[in-house]
Amino acid sequence: MQERPIQSPKTSSVPSHPDGLRHSWHPCDSCHSWHARPPALPLPSSLVRLGRAAAVLAGLSLFSATVGCGSDATTADEDRRFGAEGASFSIPEGSGGSGAGPSKEGASGPDTDMSSEAAAEGAPGAYGDEGATAPSGGGAQWPVEAGTLTAGVWDDNLNFSFFAAYRDGRSQEQGLPAYSAAEQADAHARSRERTAKTALDIAFVIDTTGSMSDEIAYLQAEFMGLAATIEAAYPDITTRWALVAYRDIDDEYVLRGADFGTSAAWFAEELQKLHAGGGGDYPEAPDQALQYTSNLSWRDPADNTGARLAFWVADAPHHVENAQAMTEAVHALKERNVHIYPIASSGVDELTEYSMRAAAQLTLGRYIFLTDDSGVGNAHKEPSIPCYFVTRLDKAMVRVIASELEGQIAEIAPSDILRTGGTPTEGVCEVSSQVFNVF
């Protein structure tokens, strides 16, 4: 695949607000109107909490990828592995991923054997292929250490006029998910009504086909540090974790995973069972994976005290003939009040970027995209956006989680910025007389 050359948009200094307001004000979708962000505290609570957790994150940045995978890591979640919570599951081959949801009762047989022994031997319950090897390709480094990958974040609801133009410019392309302009406008309006949360559900939805080795290795190395940072920053919040791994039709499996549990050590073990393999053609089965994710045991969508995030880590789109299934899957997650946070990996194309950004916009998530700054893996697509900040991926993930829990944007720490795309200043940038908000 040919990568689009990186282009630095023409920018200028941030325009003054007509009423002399600054810092606590951000422009809306153009330079013609402004709106107030939630009132800033003298020191934002998200920075206080993240600052308290910074030492934890730094101390765990080189944490072994095998932490929590020993026999002494067994917890109540592991005892419930085949019960109502924390249940491991898989879809039998040939089921077609109809979205019936994880089977959490009476699970038995080799397809639901998620034991560590099965994972080590590459058995059917181990999520992957026996003898998985390190990736090859430009810039690959193995193993991938924690704190290595780099990313930017873009919020299309903060720049909805720009998103609408982006959407309209692709309306004739094949295979696009079909969301109406009205429901996207409604999502934009709802995005301004965020509130603080006191509970957290996070699902990782991971493409485990052959090209995803770097990203899988990174998540395996990074997870315990990420979990510890969240716990240190929000000690009074209960966090639950779930996992969905997917490939494509005719691969070793289409969907496998583990339903929600509260033990980070248990979840780390589940991540360790992932191996990259299969694929072959470019499109995969994210439509089935997202539909299946909607049937996990999420907190009641009517309970507005909980944040629900799905980190969708992938480098390929759905099959174009499955565009309607993709649309329905995202709608299903929206109905569960789950915010989709795609993490676009090396190799994404225009269809993948649009599908990810449209899913994030509709569900009030944000678009996370990996960048070439890490030097890991193949080239990463430059997103079709005017400007952004680049940080470590773990910093970006912690920041979007903090923003969900706080109910307002967690300010970016200047020391976390590795570089910028364009010239954002104080959270905004101007391109061709249009002002954009930079997350």
How many whole angstroms separate alpha carbon 299 and alpha carbon 301?
6
Q: What sign does the dihedral 234-297-408-146 (CA atoms) show?
A: positive
Which residue numbers in the chain have pLDDT < 70?
1-143
Distances (CA, A) of 7 to 4, 11, 153, 374, 382: 9, 12, 17, 19, 8
Query: Cα 74 vs. chain centroid, distance in angstroms?
Result: 27
Question: Using CB atoms within 10 A of its CB, is residue 32 exposed (0-12), middle (13-18) or buried (19+)?
Answer: exposed
pLDDT score recorded for residue 71: 33
The Cβ-side half-sphere exposure at 224, using a 13 Å CA radius, reads 22
Helix (H) or strand (E) holding 54: helix 45-59
Contact 336, 301 (CB under 8 A): yes
pLDDT score recorded for residue 438: 96
pLDDT score recorded for residue 127: 53
For residue 20, tell me if it sits in a domain: no
Q: Where are the alpha helices (DSSP H) in 295-349?
A: 323-335
CATH number for 309:
3.40.50.410
How many helices (H) and strands (E) in the chain? Answer: 11, 14
For residue 13, tell me if it sits in a domain: no
Closest among 300, 298, 303 to 242, alpha carbons compared: 298
Q: Determine if the pTM surpasses 0.85.
A: no
pLDDT score recorded for residue 275: 93
Q: What sign does the dihedral 165-321-335-265 (CA atoms) show?
A: negative
Beta strands 339-344 and 367-370 are parallel
Q: What is the CA radius of gyration of the chain?
A: 21
Q: What is the pLDDT of residues 159-187, one digit of tens each?
A: 999 999 999 999 889 999 999 999 999 99
For residue 134, tell me if it sits in a domain: no
DSSP 144-196: PPTT--EEEEE-TTTTHHHHHHHHHTTTTSTT-----HHHHHHHHHHGGG---
Residue numbers of the domain that contains 323: 25-129+143-437
Helix (H) or strand (E) holding 397: helix 393-406
How many whole angstroms separate alpha carbon 138 and alpha carbon 135?
10
For residue 18, tell me if it sits in a domain: no
pLDDT score recorded for residue 147: 86
For residue 12, tell me if it sits in a domain: no
Number of domains within the chain = 1
Beta carbons within 10 angstroms of residue 129's beta carbon: 16
For residue 138, tell me if it sits in a domain: no
